[in-house]
Chains A and B, each alone.
Chain A
Amino acid sequence: MARMLPKKDVVIMGLGWTGSVLGEQLTAAGLNVVAIERGPWRDTATDFNVGYMQDELRYAIRKDLFLSPSIEAMTMRNSLAQTALPMRDYGSFLPGHGVGGAGVHWNGHTWRFWESDFQIKTHLTQRYGAAKLKNLQLQDWGPTWSEIEPSFDKFEYLCGVSGKAGNLKGQTQPGGNPFESARSREYPNPPMRMPYASTLFGEKMKEMGYHPFPLPSSNMSQSYVNSLGVRMGECSYCGFCERFACGNYSKASAQTTILPVLVRRPNFELRTECEVLKVNLTPDGKMARSVTYIDQNGVEFEQPGDLVILCGYALMNVRMMLLSKIGPQYDPMSGKGTVGRNYCYQTSAGARLLFEDKHFNPFIGAGSLGMTIDDFNGDAFDHSKLDFVGGAGISCTVTNGRPISNRPTAPGTPRWGAKWKQATKDGYQNAMGFGSEGSSYPVRENYLDLDPTYRDRHGRPLLRITFDFPDNDVAMSHYISDQLEKMTKPFNAKYSGVSRLKKGWDSVPYQTTHNTGGAIMGLDPSTSALNKYLQSWDVPNVFVIGASAFAHNAGMNPTGTVGALAYWAAEAITTKYIHAPGALVHA
């Protein structure tokens, strides 16, 4: 029997990026907020000590900061005909754990999805006709660009994003991304200083007639005081971003941008190492009453609240909705139901180049350091003669020269021994690459539900992922690989190779921690779990924040859009919901 606790205005599950943004915004509005976080408290100087943070074995290989499958595992399969099996270790993607969530170990790529993403169905139908979207479940997200743009701006000024605007209020800016949607002001910080490989990439792309620009980065190009008065230090280009936490306060995270302010607010409370088991609904299932959680001693508590906000990782949010019966389970056979619908991933490919006489100095790296072209992203290019929609951003980033994983060699090199040693020595200064971050569009048979067989340590069903790369995305990715092939030519490298996506998503090799959808926002309660304010259509005092709300995934990293959606939902709660609790959109 759970111990009943005094009621709070707001109960937040998870204190990562979105939980922190919501916590800050709602406490600023005067609400009493408690955040319940499954993992431990983590802070920069105490947990990300610069003296040992660069331990590649501990953090990058043994994945010290990530969620362990012993805490929560998932099952996966490629198609409805298969029986899903549990992933015994996280590989293809690596969810975060603890305060700060995946925002602790991210690289800092901070993109804005485009206006054409928020209106994707309308946009593509108008340009190419409905037949073009045949097997895709693309749908509009809800907000207009002028509605959502200020939320992107808020997140960028919170993070101190380093970049160069390409479209200021409709005016194309030299040096920026000409394909981005209009932004109301310049980035808060200038672009990062580019390493040689990225500079070279930018030059070659310009020669080919493309439009290179510095990748927008939440690594600090200079020290910064953010919109909450929190200070960050200049990035030292140490090359320990992704899979690591930043010991130098130079990468935006909840720790470096929000928590110093939030944790000192008297109307905020944080309970760490407490795992939410379920959201409890009223007997008619129409309102959330409370959440039940279990602390590290195995004691169960029931925390009532007027508002319950799910701020876990995208996949965890969906699972919590299914476990709590917040909205109907999506059924891929009938297409009915909403929770679990439109699960998407990311569709990537890459080019690798080896030279003989370069000094790329890959140890001068940062998570979000590079040049990008968006000439083949989204709908920046004409698809009318192509057999797919979507596209990819193509970037040359220099993230690290770490000794265990960064050992580029030419094909045919032995995997061990003296020849391998010589090849890694030759390759270290002579390798560069560029890669595509491709869109992932929803199809009927890619979805999330609860596994019928496997359960977690508390006896709850695991989440089941049913996913394979759709034909549309494979065609898109092959087209992008063709472009990558052409792009390698002007470099005159000794060796160059381009990867090609194959059908049959494999959960073992790392690909990307960009799992999206499953609790998507939209305009129609029969095809979306959430309304355009990320409020559950079915249980209106539940909001579900994160990439789980993406109706599709675009050809760029999701965090910038996740942050924007967090501010967007927070604004809806503080300006609309608290004055008139209830459904903000009537279907």
Chain B
Amino acid sequence: MRKFLLAAALTLLSSASYAADIEAGKYQGVLGDCRGCHGKDLGGGVALMTPFGKLVTPNITSDKDTGIGNYSAEDFRQAMKAGIAPGGKLLYPAMPYPSYARMPDADIAALWDYLKTVKPVKNAVEVNQLHFPFNLRFMMRGWNVLFFKPTPYADTAGKGAAWNRGAYLVNGPGHCAACHTPKNFFGADKGTALTGASLQGWYAPDLTGDKQAGLGTWSANDIVEYLGTGRNDHSIASGPMAEAVENSTAQMTASDLNAIAVYLKDMPASRGNGGGATGVEAQLRAGRSLYDINCAACHGRDGKGNVLFPALAGNANVRQVRADTVVRMVLAGGQAVATPKAPTGPGMPSLGWKLSDSQAADILTYVRNNWGNLAPAVSAETVGRIRSELHSGS
């Protein structure tokens, strides 16, 4: 009897520690934002529009036929850290293995244990829908030689534990650079990390300390609130960042969010957005009147917004070098993220049907150069280009 009890206790103990591993692995999935690309059920099928064509994300559930149920732990580690799937198939770097390469093997193993517990989904995905010649996977060998420098994360001496944890999260599993760092001709990161980049019809903003385009006017608490809830007094997440908040940052621990804030607040300012518009008095005059009619009811004539609607004064999204995000918001509208701590998820209605290209350009030039905002003018041609991209569904 006693033996039996002991055995039962041991079983309990080991299942408890197994459960803890699963939870730890699940949290690695949160940090890595797997669901952002592979879907809520991890069954894949999410189309990523890249400059080289369309990639559809694979099924990473443990389904043996259509998922990765036949992977070994080592196969998974190779895919995550070297970008190589079983059989030597090279992954495209839309899968951020250059970032995941910084993750310790133990965390990858925990994530693998977690993935094995996720309900298998039968969903066959044709991943590679890129244009020729980018559809030839062997080309990635050259890309890897040129741009892939797998290095495990190492602490920077002289920086505190929070800074180092933040640097690891931002550059490792969080793969912030995938969206926020400009890409070169080959789609690889350029040296200027996190200074903002275009993707999928949005502009992922500058995260450096620049006071106009970056987060220079945000406090560390502002960053924590934004990532944890999806909103703060300066901005509210929508578009791809809404997904990142919902699937990833809103589920991070307070200390990890704080670490990210400490690291980002220490980033030196970028070269900025090119400065305010000049010689656009007519645009500003027209923009003011159109703004008061179309925008002020929610965002306020002073551009300060309120607890629900984001301020436009001091809003970094408004002040990026490229206006893609705000043009898109005006034309097509958008839905902000809803999180347990900020459940409202307000929507911006589409105004593209009532504003001409030049009217939208005038409003945005006014908004980008008022209340302390200083950013380049928006032209009717830019609005027209984005309008046609929205119409073509890209």
Contact = CB atoms under 8 A, between A and B. Distances in A.
A231 B307 contact: yes
23 contacts: A44-B346, A45-B348, A46-B349, A51-B294, A51-B349, A51-B350, A52-B354, A225-B307, A229-B343, A229-B344, A230-B343, A231-B307, A232-B308, A233-B298, A233-B306, A233-B307, A233-B309, A249-B344, A249-B346, A260-B345, A261-B343, A264-B338, A264-B343
B342 interface: yes
B308 A44 contact: no
Interface in B316-355: 333, 335, 338, 341-351, 353-354
Given A43-B347, A45-B347, A260 B341 contact: no
Nearest to A230: B344
B306 A234 contact: yes
Given A45-B333, A225-B307, A51 B346 contact: no
B297 interface: yes
A229 B298 CA distance: 19
A224 interface: yes
B360 to A, nearest CB: 12
A208 interface: no
Interface in A121-166: none
Interface of B: 294, 297-298, 306-309, 333, 335, 338, 341-351, 353-354
A-B pairs, top 7 by smallest CB distance, nearest first, are: A45-B347, A223-B306, A49-B349, A231-B308, A236-B297, A223-B307, A233-B308
A49 B349 CA distance: 6
A231 B346 contact: yes
A52 B349 CA distance: 10
B309 A49 contact: no
Nearest to A237: B297
A50 B298 contact: yes
Contacts of A230: 343-344
A238 interface: yes
Contact of A260 (B294, B297, B307, B344): B344
Given A50-B298, A260-B338, 9 more contacts: A45-B346, A46-B349, A223-B307, A228-B343, A231-B308, A233-B308, A234-B306, A248-B297, A260-B345
Contacts of B307: 223-225, 231, 233
A176 interface: no
A230 B342 CA distance: 7
A44 B294 CA distance: 16
A247 B297 CA distance: 10
A443 to B, nearest CB: 46
A228 B341 CA distance: 10
Nearest to A223: B306
Max count, chain B CB within 10 A of own CB: residue among A229, A233, A236:
A233
Contacts of B309: 233, 249
Contacts of A52: 354
A229 B294 contact: no
A44 B344 CA distance: 11
Contacts of A231: 307-308, 342, 344, 346
A238 B347 CA distance: 19
A51 B354 contact: yes
B343 A223 contact: no
B219 to A, nearest CB: 20
Contacts of A238: 297
Contacts of A43: 347
B329 to A, nearest CB: 11
Max count, chain A CB within 10 A of own CB: residue among B335, B345, B349, B353:
B349
Max count, chain A CB within 10 A of own CB: residue among B338, B346, B351:
B346
Given A223-B306, A224-B307, A229 B346 contact: no
Interface in A192-239: 223-225, 228-234, 236, 238
Contacts of A44: 346-347
Nearest to B334: A45
B343 A46 contact: no
Nearest to B347: A45
A234 to B, nearest CB: 6
Contacts of A50: 297-298, 349
A264 B348 CA distance: 20
Contacts of B346: 44-45, 231, 249
B234 to A, nearest CB: 15
A59 to B, nearest CB: 15
Max count, chain B CB within 10 A of own CB: residue among A231, A238, A260:
A231
Contacts of B335: 45
Nearest to B350: A49
B15 to A, nearest CB: 25
Contacts of B333: 45
Contacts of B350: 49, 51
B298 A248 contact: yes
A229 B333 CA distance: 23
Nearest to B351: A51
A518 to B, nearest CB: 35
A52 B353 CA distance: 10
A224 B344 CA distance: 12
B343 A260 contact: yes
B184 to A, nearest CB: 37
Interface in A256-302: 260-261, 264
Contact of A249 (B308, B343, B351): B308
A189 to B, nearest CB: 12
Nearest to A46: B347
A264 B339 CA distance: 10
A406 B353 CA distance: 28
Contacts of A228: 343
A562 B353 CA distance: 39
Contacts of A51: 294, 349-351, 353-354
A44 B346 CA distance: 8
B23 to A, nearest CB: 19
Nearest to B345: A260
Contacts of B341: 229
Contacts of A249: 298, 308-309, 344, 346
Nearest to B229: A229
A43 B335 CA distance: 11
Contacts of B345: 260
A225 B350 CA distance: 25
Interface in A382-425: none
Interface string A90-112: 00000000000000000000000
A46 B335 CA distance: 9
A239 B350 CA distance: 22
B159 to A, nearest CB: 36
Max count, chain B CB within 10 A of own CB: residue among A43, A51, A223, A236:
A51
Nearest to B352: A51
Contacts of B344: 229-231, 249, 260
